[in-house]
Amino acid sequence: MSNIVAKESHFLTTLPGDDLRARLEAFVEDKDAFSPNTWRQLMSVMRISLRWAEQNGRQFFPMSSTDLRDYLNWLQAGGRASSTVATHAALLATLHRNAGLVPPTTSPLVFRTIKKINRSAVVSGERTGQAVPFKMTDLHIIDRCWAGSTQLQQVRNLAFLHLAYNTLLRVSELARLRVRDISRTADGRIILDVAWTKTIVQTGGLIKALSSASSRRLSEWLTRSGLAGEPDAFIFCPVHRSNKVTIATERPLSLPALEAIFSQAWREAGPATPAPANKGRYQGWSGHSARVGAAQDLAGKGYSVAQIMQEGTWKKPETLMRYIRNVDAHKGAMVDFMEMQ
């Protein structure tokens, strides 16, 4: 199975049995049922686990519960976070299920292994990493820095940061927005018709309303860039160093380019000293910072978990709670009770 590389077809040619190969070919044909990020993760996990299997004389696929146990332990020993180990197990289980096989994760042996890895991680002090929050106060600072700029890139970047904070959309979701997705209320504020998100994939889509300030910054970008008259163009297009916009209709601005906006904002308006090291990264604003900061701001103002989940399209409360755990630390029933005594 040494032919497993980035292309799925190479993997399929290595599989024993026509029936198994046919089931996985159907799986690959239907890969659009998954988000592009999930599919990329699956391909990455397949490459890593195949390399491990080849180097250790194990069978990559179908994978036995014993081999999966040893593979997961190898990941942990190599310094992978417990969440990463769990992701590898889940994606390998997905691969087996879609081949019509019983996933090795159903084995009590693997269950105990994952539980042991999680317990070991917690006892050793591992904590889930979190992006440095980009909050309303930060948005105000960068707004003062970039408002009225003659550089179209800064005009675009300011509009992007406003949308990222105002909508709590993920960077990939912001990248897909097109000019035709914009409508306006009677007072001129902007409404965004978001076709789909990571957690909401339905024909009704999602509607996001912008504040007056965010509507103004986005309108400035659309007008000065000339994109207002290009309904098929992506809202956030490349800006050439000549200070001219390249109208893009086929492919959105790359995620690294959009995430770099947060880095540029950090250099312009971030704290003088880097944030404390957090799992070897997160020492400045990154692609997830606006979601984290907006969620924390909402929690700090007393909005309910249900309301914040709706704004950020979170499906699981525990995901949100990781972002706002410090904000809500002093809002517990016991603290409130003791302060009243």
Whether the predicted pLDDT of 326 surpasses 80: no
Tokens (6 digits) for 183: 């409508």
Flag whether pLDDT at 255 surpasses 60.
yes
| Peptide bond preceding 62 in cis form (omega within 30 of 0) | yes
Confidence class for position 1, pLDDT limits 50, 70, 90:
very low
Which of 72, 75, 76, 68 has its CA nearest to residue 103? 68
Q: Check residues 225 and 7 and name the one with the higher pLDDT.
A: 225
Give pTM, 2 decimals.
Answer: 0.74
Domain assignment present for 333: no
**Does residue 38 lie in a domain region?**
yes
Residue 267's domain is classified under what CATH number? 1.10.443.10
Q: What is the model's pLDDT at position 143?
A: 96
Catalytically annotated residue among 80, 88, 96, 170: 170
Structure tokens at 278: 């957090």
C-beta separation of 224 from 155 below 8 A: yes
pLDDT at 3: 43
Six-digit token pair at 143? Answer: 């707004």
Q: What average pLDDT does the structure give for the chain?
A: 87
Residue 140 lies in a domain: yes
| Same domain, residue pair 92 and 163 | no
88 catalytic per annotation: no
Same structural domain, 15 and 151: no
Model confidence pLDDT, tens digit, residues 31-77: 888 878 889 999 999 999 999 999 999 998 899 999 999 999 999 99
Same domain, 72 and 154: no
pLDDT value at position 5?
38
112 in active site: no
Q: Is the confidence at residue 85, as pLDDT, over 90? A: yes
Distance CA 262, CA 283 (A): 12
pLDDT in tens, 277-320: 555 556 789 999 999 999 999 999 999 999 999 999 888 888 88
pLDDT of residue 260: 94
- Mean pLDDT calculated for residue range 194-214: 81
pLDDT at 203: 56
User: Which CATH number do you get for residue 45?
Assistant: 1.10.150.130
Q: How many domains does the chain have?
A: 2
- Cα dihedral 303→140→194→169 (10° resolution): -70
**Is residue 2 in a domain?**
no
Catalytic annotation present for 170 = yes
Arithmetic mean of pLDDT, 324-336:
69
List strand residue ranges (DSSP E) for the chain, in order: 182-184, 190-194, 206-209
Residue 46 domain-assigned (yes or no): yes
The pLDDT of residue 125 is above 80: no
Would you state the pLDDT for residue 315?
87
Q: Is residue 320 part of a domain?
A: yes
Percent share of the chain, pLDDT over 70: 85
| Residue 80 annotated in active site | no
Looking at the structure, tell me whether residues 169 and 300 fall in a common domain: yes
Residue 300 lies in a domain: yes
164 and 113 in one domain? no
Between 279 and 163, where is the model more confident? 163
Whole-number pLDDT of residue 122: 81
Position with higher pLDDT, 213 vs 339: 213
The per-residue pLDDT for 4 is: 40
Domain with 152, as residue range(s), is 136-328
Note whether 114 and 141 are same-domain residues.
no
For residues 171 and 81, state if they share a domain: no
Q: Does the residue 76 lie in any domain?
A: yes
Q: Do 89 and 12 sit in the same domain of this protein?
A: yes
Q: Is residue 159 located within the same domain as residue 301?
A: yes
Question: Which residues in 34-61 are b (16+ Cβ under 10 Å) and which e?
Answer: ebeeebebbbebbeebbebbeeeebebb
Percentage, residues of the chain above pLDDT 90: 62
Same domain, 92 and 142: no
Angle formed by the axes of helices 255-269 and 152-167, to 10°?
100
Residue 296: what pLDDT? 94
**DSSP secondary structure string for all residues of 84-96:** HHHHHHHHHHHHH
